[in-house]
């Protein structure tokens, strides 16, 4: 159970970072996101 829990936590953190990145991209604008990519 510990392994599955740690894996789910890691996935949750990744999805959280992705959502935050999308939010920052939308708020900052398309020009900045294209430069970052």
Q: Specify the number of domains making up the chain.
A: 1
Whether the CB-CB separation of 19 and 25 falls below 8 Å is answered with no
pLDDT of residue 30: 64
**pLDDT one digit per residue (tens) for the chain, 37 residues:** 566 655 565 677 788 888 888 888 887 766 655 665 5
Size of the chain in residues: 37
> CA-CA-CA-CA torsion for 19, 21, 23, 28, nearest 10 degrees?
-170
Give the domain range for residue 7: 2-36
């Amino acid at each position: 159970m510990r392994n599955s829990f740690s894996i789910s936590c890691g996935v949750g953190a990744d999805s959280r970072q992705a959502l935050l990145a999308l939010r920052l991209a939308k708020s900052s604008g398309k020009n900045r996101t294209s430069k970052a990519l």
